[in-house]
Structure 1
Amino acid sequence: MHQIAPVIHSPPFSRSSGRTARLLGAGLVICAILSGAATSAMASASTMVRNDHGLLTVTPDSPLAARLSVTPVTLASPSRTIPVPGEIRAEPSQSLSVMTPVAGAIISLPVTAGDHVTRGQILAELASGDMAQATTDAAKARAGLDYARRALLRAQGVASAGGAATRDVEAARSAWLQAQAEDDRATARLAALRAQPGQGGVIRLTTPIDGMVSAVNTAAGAFVTDPTAPLMTVTGTQQVWAVAAVPENLTDAVHVGQTVDITFPALPGRTTHGTIAAIEPALHSDTRTLQARVVLANDDDTLKPGMFATVTILTPQPPRIMVPQSALLMNNDTVTVFVEVAPHAYRRRDIEIIYDNGDLCEVTSGLAAGDRVVTQGAVLLNDD
């Protein structure tokens, strides 16, 4: 009898099962590689940093040492900034009303409002009877003085030759002194009119400062009868005031001599620096503000009176220990930093700080001036 051997059927081999096997094999290889890399990295880290009861020593030639930045702690005097609204104003001593010293008719008015003028430039010309009288008096006084001088010299010559009495010389001397006084009076009158001999009945009004004609209150052909009425106003623009309105609750923090930064909504990107020159002694009752004045140079004439501004007053603070926020490490509820206690040796230290919006924060305890703090790469150190 023949035995029939059992036939065992194996499942057919598929491509998908082969791909799965290859992927599993590759995964095992990658895991082995990563495990070896992690083990190598841990071994490398342990060789770069040595922990001796919290004292971390970094190998000088290690890559970690190159990534650490250490900065000495110094005292800084940050400034508290107080921004307040402000306004550009013309300096009162540089704003002049132009008036005529005598009555007369305006025969020439070569300027208009908005014109720039320079010192000595003619603003208006007037025909005036008073001016004509003043120039005539000056001419007569000069002629009389010249006649009296020659008469005195003649009398002195005759007296020295023995042909004239002493009283004749004294009379000539008295006449000369009176003529001298009359000439002085006439010359002073012309000086008060800001006129020169020979101008006749025409008086020329000139500007005593460089500036801009801000207002004109008359016209050519008008007859001026009131010498106290301003014909025009000239405003000096070489210097202006920035007037800051300081709120009542901040007045104690503002003092003469403080530095300010001034910006202008109408001039984006421009910042002008100055110092507080004066502070008004009394508050304005309607706004409850104290006005602080800053004198600004305005050679380019870009700062116009009436222009709005923001005046930022810089108030110096007492010296404080400041560190970069990049040096801070959070350890549970404690803020710490790494302090270099020896070359390439660091120890963690607890500190107390006051956070600020900038890159620096104030340290209230835990550090002293001169301590060397790790400001970059502190997170790479590990003393756990």
Structure 2
Amino acid sequence: MSTRSYCSAMTHCLSGVLLSLMLLSTPAIGLAGKPQDNDDAPHDNAVTEPQTAPASDMIRVDQKAAKQMGLQVERLTRQRLVVSIKTTGQIEALPDQKVAVTAPILGIVVQLLAKPGDPVQAGQVVALLSSPELAQLRVEAIQKREEAEAGLQQAAADLRLAQQNYGRQRQQAIADLNQARTQVTLSQERYDRNRELQAAGAIARRQVQESETELAATRAALTKAQSKLGELEAVNQLSRAQAGVSVAQSRVRLSDAAYRARLQQLKTTANNEGLVTVTAPIPGTVADRPTTPGETVTVEAASKPLMTIVNAQRVWATANLYEKDLAKVEVGQSAQVIVASLPKRTFTGRVAQIGTVVEGTTRVIPVKVELDNPQQVLKPGMFAELELLTGQAPAAVLAIPSTAVVDNNGTPRVFVQQEEGYRPVAVTLGQTAGKLVEVKSGLKEGDRIVTEGATLLYAQSLGGVGITTDSDDKPKGGKETEHDLDDVIRKIQIPAWLGLPVGAVAVGAAFWIGRRTQSRQNHSPSSSRSLFEYEAEIYLNQLKQPVESETRQDEKPADIQE
């Protein structure tokens, strides 16, 4: 067969195909706009139940897929909601439990004994400083003390000498006293005997008088010895030595008085090396340490602290309230706090402080909730969500968990479990209380709603990507597949009025192609090739060439591979 004959046959074939497609598509298009007469289509006299949904809205999920999705279903009940005010804020340390440790005097940081994160106790030494002022006072105190101690040693030596002298003089005085007493005794005996002899006429009166004079002399010597024992010179010397020791001891005690007074004034102490010790004022944890050893620190307010100690056993959750909500909040009310790092844990506290001044621009007032934080999991600076519980609703309302609500283009929806599957229901929401939200319309008491996994169900309703359902386990090509295809075809609603124009256009196109080809064949010489024949030959040549596949960057084409 020649190329011209082949092209002519092909032209008539294409015209026939177009005409056939036109005749077949016209009745299909005409019938597409009409509802199919089957059992699935609703009749005019059918009664629609309130909970019945179209097949396209119902989501069917088998038990295995529901378990994988973590679906949880609960029955809707009425309950009294706790009325609350929600706001956002941050965690803060109590004012008296966050202390900046500063230098008590101008000096140089010698050593820092605590680093960030270390726990410290009240009174624990956390830093050592070297102060030129205290160093000078300490040197002077040491010099004075050395001088006072030398004086004390001299006074002590004088005291010991006086004590020895006193001992010797006392012993001599006691000996003299004893001798005088002996003499008095002897004189008294001689006098008594002489008187007896005189009375007997044995001796003269003159001997009695002599013995009496001797007795008087011995008695005078005894009196002198007794007085000498009480008025020893060593007694005075001993007293002076004791006074000197007392004075020397006082000088020792007062030698560092100025040094100790300055330390007491600074409310600090110094170690044996003369370094100023800085102690922790409160128990807690070192939060920051901006100073390093070797830096010079001052007592000025602008000077940076040695470190910051925070006691986070109790913290504040601080937030702002609008002026209109101020009347609903009072000190002592219960509050709940949630932080982002612990989303499943709720901290309970009470309103500890309400601000006294409303900011003029934002019209808000600060509120502080005090929280116990024994494990110190709440860190100052954390963002927090606060819910101030102001009371209970006067009546019980339908309430569902907030996890049961999904947002469908701005419309809240809840999935209700039915025998056929899960049906999305549009609802109207009311006030929120904690994790519960009021349902004003769309649901009724007793409905079984999905409380967990509603987001996955919503994703399934949009396409079901990654979720295994009952339809995924059915074999392809069966009745179910054909039925689904019919449903898809029914959904393609083409207006009936488009059938006639489309058919007319198809007939006209087929007739024009045939006439154009015949006209070229009649007017062109047999030796020259028609334009249509040239185009048909190009098309046939393209069909004979192999189709090139895409080559990856890491692969070479077949004609350049080694």
TM-score (norm 1): 0.52
Distance 1:258 1:139, change over 3 A: farther
* Structure 2 residue corresponding to 1:91, chosen from 94, 103, 114: 94
Structure 1 CA distance for aligned equivalents of residues 103 and 327 of structure 2: 47
- The alpha carbon displacement at 1:255 in A equals 0.9
Residue of structure 2 in register with 1:234 after alignment: 308
Residue of structure 2 in register with 1:102 after alignment: 105
Structure 2 CA distance for aligned equivalents of residues 210 and 195 of structure 1: 19
* Structure 1 residue corresponding to 2:117, chosen from 93, 115, 118: 115
Asked if 2 retains the 8 angstrom alpha-carbon contact of 1:218 and 1:231, the reply is: yes
- The alpha carbon displacement at 1:209 in A equals 2.7
Quick check: 1:298 aligned with 2:373?
A: yes
Which stretches in structure 2 are left out of the alignment for 5+ residues? 1-78, 167-230, 399-429, 439-444, 447-562
Q: Which moved more, 1:292-301 or 1:150-159?
A: 150-159
Residue of structure 2 in register with 1:367 after alignment: none
Structure 2 CA distance for aligned equivalents of residues 263 and 118 of structure 1: 29
SS at match of 1:85: strand
Quick check: 1:221 aligned with 2:294?
A: yes
- The alpha carbon displacement at 1:137 in A equals 4.9
Asked if 2 retains the 8 angstrom alpha-carbon contact of 1:135 and 1:198, the reply is: no
- The alpha carbon displacement at 1:246 in A equals 1.3
* Structure 2 residue corresponding to 1:194, chosen from 259, 263, 268: 268
RMSD between superposed Cα atoms in Å: 4.6
Amino acid at match of 1:132: A
Quick check: 1:130 aligned with 2:133?
A: yes
Asked if 1 retains the 8 angstrom alpha-carbon contact of 2:102 and 2:307, the reply is: no
Amino acid at match of 2:96: S
Asked if 2 retains the 8 angstrom alpha-carbon contact of 1:138 and 1:197, the reply is: no
Larger Cα Rg: Structure 1 or Structure 2? 2
SS at match of 2:318: strand
Quick check: 1:246 aligned with 2:321?
A: yes
- The alpha carbon displacement at 1:251 in A equals 0.7
SS at match of 2:270: coil
Deviations 1:308-327 (A, max 9, x none): 11111112369x6x5687xx
Asked if 2 retains the 8 angstrom alpha-carbon contact of 1:253 and 1:315, the reply is: yes
- The alpha carbon displacement at 1:211 in A equals 3.3
Structure 2 CA distance for aligned equivalents of residues 208 and 356 of structure 1: 48
Quick check: 1:312 aligned with 2:387?
A: yes
Distance 1:207 1:197, change over 3 A: closer
Structure 2 CA distance for aligned equivalents of residues 206 and 357 of structure 1: 50
More strand by share: 1
* Structure 2 residue corresponding to 1:284, chosen from 335, 340, 359: 359
Deviations 1:314-369 (A, max 9, x none): 12369x6x5687xxxxxxxxxxxxxxxxxxxxxxxxxxxxx98899x9xxxxxxxx
Amino acid at match of 1:249: K
Structure 2 CA distance for aligned equivalents of residues 175 and 303 of structure 1: 60
Distance 1:278 1:181, change over 3 A: farther
- The alpha carbon displacement at 1:168 in A equals 9.8
Asked if 2 retains the 8 angstrom alpha-carbon contact of 1:265 and 1:309, the reply is: yes
User: What does 1:63-74 align with in structure 2 at a 5 Å threshold?
Assistant: none
Deviations 1:50-82 (A, max 9, x none): xxxxxxxxxxxxxxxxxxxxxxxxxx9974211
Quick check: 1:258 aligned with 2:333?
A: yes
Amino acid at match of 2:282: I
Query: How high is the sequence identity, in percent, across the aligned residues?
Result: 26
Structure 1 CA distance for aligned equivalents of residues 288 and 396 of structure 2: 57
Distance 1:137 1:280, change over 3 A: farther
Deviations 1:17-63 (A, max 9, x none): xxxxxxxxxxxxxxxxxxxxxxxxxxxxxxxxxxxxxxxxxxxxxxx
Distance 1:299 1:147, change over 3 A: farther
Structure 1 CA distance for aligned equivalents of residues 282 and 243 of structure 2: 49
Structure 1 CA distance for aligned equivalents of residues 272 and 328 of structure 2: 61
Residue of structure 1 in register with 2:280 after alignment: 207
SS at match of 1:163: helix
Structure 2 CA distance for aligned equivalents of residues 357 and 313 of structure 1: 12
Distance 1:115 1:141, change over 3 A: farther
Distance 1:196 1:211, change over 3 A: same
Structure 2 CA distance for aligned equivalents of residues 293 and 148 of structure 1: 65
Structure 1 CA distance for aligned equivalents of residues 89 and 297 of structure 2: 41
Which stretches in structure 1 are left out of the alignment for 5+ residues? 1-75, 326-354, 362-374, 377-384
More helix by share: 2
- The alpha carbon displacement at 1:134 in A equals 4.0
Structure 2 CA distance for aligned equivalents of residues 141 and 278 of structure 1: 56
Quick check: 1:267 aligned with 2:342?
A: yes
Asked if 1 retains the 8 angstrom alpha-carbon contact of 2:152 and 2:244, the reply is: no
Asked if 2 retains the 8 angstrom alpha-carbon contact of 1:238 and 1:298, the reply is: yes
- The alpha carbon displacement at 1:96 in A equals 2.2
Asked if 1 retains the 8 angstrom alpha-carbon contact of 2:84 and 2:388, the reply is: yes
Q: How many matched pairs? A: 255
TM-score (norm 2): 0.37
SS at match of 2:127: strand
